[in-house]
Each structure stands twice: as C-alpha cells, then as structure tokens.
Structure 1
Amino acid sequence: MTVAFLFALISNVYAEIRVVSLSPALTEIMFDLKLGDIIVGTSEYSDYPAAAKKIPRVGSYQQPDIEKIARLNPTHVVTNNDGSKKQLARPEVIGAPVVLIPLKTINDLYEALKKLGEQFRAVEESEKLIARSKSALNSMNPPEKRIKSVIAIDSNPLVGVGADSFVSELLSLCGFDNQLKAKGYPKLDREWLFVNQPEALIVLEKMGTEKSNSELSILPNTKVLKIDGEKLSRLSPAIILDLGDNCKNWRSKFE
C-alpha cells in the first residue's frame, strides 16, 4: 500500500464529513481541533480565527436559515442552542443529525472538546487541548481577597450575567464573586444595585462600544471594570489559556 494511496484514502474519508456550525464558540473550538477544513457553514459572528470569516453564513444560532443549511448538504450540524436543535431536528428538514453541545460551564468545554474529537476523528488533538486547559487552570493561585462583584453586559439599561454563566465561573477564579444569584441574563434593578453596593461592577463591552449607563450614578463607592466582551464572550481553550494573565490585569485595578 503506497503513501499516495493512504493519503487518498484518508482524504476521501474526511471529504464525506460536512459540518455546519451554529455557534461561534463551536466554530472556534473546531478550528482549535484542526477541523476547520470540514466546516461548510457557520452562524453569524463566527469570525475567529480569520479563516472562519470565509465560510458561508447560514443565519444566527437563534434563527438558522434552514434552506441555506440544506443547500450545503451537511452530514452534521453542531449547535450549543437547544432552540436551534429543535428547529432542525426533524430528519426531513436537512437530512443530517443535529448535535447539541452545551457550553455553559468549564466542564462543558472539556466535554465539547472530547465529543467533537471523537465525532470527527480528532481525539489526540482534543486530549492535548483538554490537558493544556486543565493545566492552565491548576497553575492559577486562587486570590485570598475576594471581591464582591456584579457582572453586566454593556447596554442601557444594564443586563446582568447570572451565576450559572461560564463568565461568572471564570471571573470567580480571578477572585470576583458574583452577587447576582439569578440564572440567565436578568435586567439589573436599580434598587437591588443600591442595596447591594458591589465593590466591583464588571461591564462586558460589546463590540468595543461604550454606552452611558444611568445605573452607575447610584454606585459612588463601586469601581467599574470595563472588559472587552470578546475576551469572555466565547468559551474556548484560548479564553482558558489566557485567563491567568487576564486575571492579574483585571485585579490590578483593585489593589
């Protein structure tokens, strides 16, 4: 059996796999696993790495364009949104399995790497990334001083980031304790903010924009930490690997 024949055989196997990703985070993770070549369609905002921008768009993760997806003739559709899975789950719609891969916690990231690696023959790469990510987190020293915090998305009015978010989990590793115990992304109530008076209000800026937030005027003793939302918007190995340095930078504002 010649090397050329083996290469052709492997190429043919991978040529059969055509993936549509309905999640910018899953798109990034697949590129991390060196699986970018099998992605034939992506959702809006799948702009990292740069090569992802060249892949055809098929709507958003909340409103996928079923006709566009069907025309791409995918063998698999991956999503981290249960709503889009339900829209596409009927076999007669696109004729391909829809794989739901949650990305709500750090452990979900490890499971996503494992699942994608097994599904698309990238087990070795997934094991490496899982090991590197775990090593990066294990090397972090938990800060002794905890900072009472509220995390918000930059909007007017501010929208909170609940305790069940991976953003809350990551910032907790930096020593920022989320006072907002609600789940999801609730609107921040002015009275609640006034009563709780967090030490830190962490604002995730969207697309580098900055809005005027009326809520900030009622928090005279609260330090505002503005973070580029892109640094925490997608749960991926890159966010984990950069977390140690980012934590030091963010906490330096409170020393």
Structure 2
Amino acid sequence: MPVWILAWILLGAVTGCGRNAGPPGSFEQPGGERRPAAAPRRVVSLAPSITETLFALGMGDRVVGVTDFCRHPPEATALPKVGGYLNPSVEAVLRLRPDLVVVPAGTQHWQEMFSRFSLPVLEVDHRNLEGVFASFETLGRVFAAEERAREAAEALRARLDRAAERCRGRPRPRVLLAIDRTIEEDRLRDVYVAGDDGFLDQVIELAGGENAAKHLGVPFPVLSAEGILRIDPDVIVDLVGDMPAAATEREVILSGWKQVAEVKAVRTGRVYILSDVPVVPGPRTPLLVERLARCFHPEVEPPAAPEPPASP
C-alpha cells in the first residue's frame, strides 16, 4: 500500500478522529491554551498537502522543514527533511527551531509530543475539499495574508468549477479508482480502491463519474479479482503515483487487469494507467480532476493548454 494511503488511514484522515484546530488564526499552545500568535517565520510542515498549500499561498520562504514525501513544488525537495508521515523525528524538528509546526487532522499524539517542547502546533483538515478551502482561510489568518489566501481559494474553486463544467449533464460512468494493487504471476489481487473516503470520492464526482465502490462504506476497500467482477465498473483508472511510471511497469499493471477480462471496463478497453498525477488534496487537485475527466469522458474536448495550479 502506498505510504500516503497508510498515513491517511492511520492518522484518522478518513475517520474524523482529529481534534478541531480551534479558531482560525490561533494555535494549540502547550497546556492546551489557545491564543493568537504573531505571523510565524519558521514553519515545519508534516504533510505534502500542507507543504503545497503553504507554497501556493506564498509562504514557501517561511517553510524550513518538510517530510520525506513532500515533493512539490520542486523547491520543497531541497528543504531539510524531518521524517515521514508516520514517524517524524522530534529531534530533526527541534533542530530547525520552528515557531510553528503545521500538522494534518488526526495527529493528536504529534500535537501532544511537540507541546512538551513548547512548540506551537496548528492542525489543518484536508480530509475533503471543504477542508482544503477552510485551510486556506485558516493559514491566511495565521500568516496575516487573508487577501492572498482568499484570492488563491477563489482561483482554485474557479478552476475546479471549470473542470466539472466540461462534463456536466453527461451520463456518469461507474468508475473504479485503483490506488494500489498486487500482481503476482500475472494474477491480480489485493486491489486498493477509493471508497467512501471523502476527497477521492469528491474528485470522481467532479470529473463526471460515479464511484462504483462507494457503496462498500469504507475509505479504501481491498478487492480481489472476484470482487472487481461483482462490481463490474464501466471504467477503471489505476493511479500509480505522482511520479512518471516506466513503460515496463505500465505493461505489468495492464497485464494484471487483463486477468479480469469479463469486467466491462476491460472488455471495452477502458482501463487507464495514470502516473505523474497529484493524488493529495490541495492546489493541484484540478490537474487530477482534468486527467480523470478525460478518462471518463474522452468525447469531451480537453482544455487547449494545461493551466498552472491555483496560486495567489
């Protein structure tokens, strides 16, 4: 399973177990006290979605540390690393002398840990698109950049609306969005798919599809070949990460899907392998919606040219 999915599950990003971050513009201070603080100047981000959002809001010059998985924007890759999603190094964070640590929802243990060292912590909730927009407002207030944050949120919302408008009113294909899979001896098994998870379910809907696995009622169902046959989706999209996939990897994945030849999507040649697409909530989400829309509705004319991610 990709580490970002494991983190999503274990950190509570789909279970709603994260604590409320408090009023926008306030921090969780040691001892549980919330009080306004001056605009931070040395920030550590503990999630790729947070890092991307900070840079999109023009706060990249204040970010002094990120996780091992923060790969966008390119400037973030040169910043000091403080560990992974699930195991940030307290020592690495302390060495950077931050005046704010920004954490994802569901990380109460991190908040308590950093509070022991008198580090202010701000929690943002990127479980769904509503949370992404709310985080723009929160970060704008914290960094005294409300106008910039408002403009960035409006630009992101407008681009999502434009992407959705291209497919509005068209029949929605039933879509299986795969995020990980095991292929052994050309046999497909343990396929992780987007279920009732919030963010990816919303993305499928915006792109003009119907989530064929939503009814299973869990965030990331694990399906066997037989389970996929029972669902029988019209379209299968297999996300293989946010980095370009080698041709051999794509061939192996396609050969695995051919083992469920009775599935409608396979019979009709509507299995799509997508790599180098953003799979975390944030400013680049319109890119994912646009790529998925082209798979769901190939008859729709694509945009004349790719648009840059929403930014202030």
Superposition TM-score, scaled by structure 1 size: 0.84
Residue 104 of structure 1 deviates from its aligned partner by: 1.6
Q: Which runs of 5+ in 2 are unaligned?
A: 1-37, 183-189, 301-312
Could you say which residue in structure 2 is the equivalent of 1:158? 191
Which is further off, 114-123 or 131-140? 131-140
In the alignment, the residues of structure 2 paired with residue 173 and residue 243 of structure 1 have an alpha-carbon distance, to the nearest angstrom, of: 10
- Deviation by residue 1:94-113 (Cα, 9 ceiling, x = unmatched): 32122221112111110111
Q: Which runs of 5+ in 1 are unaligned?
A: 1-12
Which of 244, 269, 285 does residue 239 from structure 1 map onto? 285
Query: Is the 8 Å Cα contact of residues 208 and 293 (structure 2) preserved in structure 1?
Result: no
Residue 158 of structure 1 deviates from its aligned partner by: 1.8
In the alignment, the residues of structure 2 paired with residue 244 and residue 185 of structure 1 have an alpha-carbon distance, to the nearest angstrom, of: 19
In the alignment, the residues of structure 2 paired with residue 107 and residue 88 of structure 1 have an alpha-carbon distance, to the nearest angstrom, of: 23
Query: Is the 8 Å Cα contact of residues 180 and 193 (structure 2) preserved in structure 1?
Result: no
- Percent identity between the two aligned chains: 23
Map 1:44-83; keep pairs closer than 5 Å: 44-83=68-107
Could you say which residue in structure 1 is the equivalent of 2:171? 145
Alignment-mate amino acid for residue 272 of structure 2: L
Query: Is the 8 Å Cα contact of residues 150 and 200 (structure 1) preserved in structure 2?
Result: yes
Alignment-mate amino acid for residue 64 of structure 1: P
Residue 69 of structure 1 deviates from its aligned partner by: 0.6
- Deviation by residue 1:16-45 (Cα, 9 ceiling, x = unmatched): 621110011110110111101111110012
In the alignment, the residues of structure 2 paired with residue 61 and residue 243 of structure 1 have an alpha-carbon distance, to the nearest angstrom, of: 22
Q: Does 1:180 align with 2:225?
A: no
Map 1:184-203; keep pairs closer than 5 Å: 184-203=219-238
How well do the aligned residues superpose, as a CA RMSD in angstroms?
2.3
Query: Is the 8 Å Cα contact of residues 42 and 58 (structure 1) preserved in structure 2?
Result: yes
Which has the higher relative contact order, 1 or 2, with Cα contacts under 8 A spaced 6 or more apart?
Answer: 2
Which of 260, 263, 270 does residue 218 from structure 1 map onto? 260
Query: Is the 8 Å Cα contact of residues 104 and 126 (structure 2) preserved in structure 1?
Result: yes
Question: Does the C-alpha gap of structure 1 residues 57 and 147 become closer, same or farther in structure 2, counting only changes over 3 Å?
Answer: same
- Deviation by residue 1:115-141 (Cα, 9 ceiling, x = unmatched): 111111221111001111222233332
In the alignment, the residues of structure 1 paired with residue 73 and residue 60 of structure 2 have an alpha-carbon distance, to the nearest angstrom, of: 10
In the alignment, the residues of structure 2 paired with residue 128 and residue 113 of structure 1 have an alpha-carbon distance, to the nearest angstrom, of: 10
Instruction: Give the paired residue count.
Output: 239
